Amino acid sequence: MGGYFNAANTALKQLPRMKVGGYINLTNTQITRLPPNLVVRGDLSLVNTPLTALPQRLFVEGNLYLTNSPINAIPDDIYIGGNLYIRGTNIQEISPDLRIEGQVLPALTQ
């Protein structure tokens, strides 16, 4: 299935059940949780959301943007096919077992 879901700058609080073949943009929404086993065939933007945790078994083929969100941990069972953007989050470390094909930006210093 093609297409994308762009809810940026809306009052959306919960992701509806859907299948999207491209990116999902939830920037500046009030989303507080995502369903487990969510598959995103493009980028997933969670910039400036109140989301505090990512769902189990999240699969993102593109980039994952978490900028300026209160997330403090990344589950070990997710997949990111592109880059992971964590500026403005509370993430202090990334498990070496995490499947990220791109880079973590900005890079975490040990």
Q: CA-CA distances (angstroms) from residue 20 to 3, 41, 45, 89?
A: 6, 7, 14, 26
Kindly report, residue by residue over 12-49, the tens digit of the pLDDT. 999 877 778 899 999 999 999 999 899 999 999 999 99
CA separation for the pair 89, 80 (Å, rounded): 17
Percentage of residues of the chain with pLDDT beyond 90: 77
pTM assigned to the model = 0.93
Decide if pLDDT at 8 tops 90.
yes
- Mean model confidence pLDDT for the chain: 92
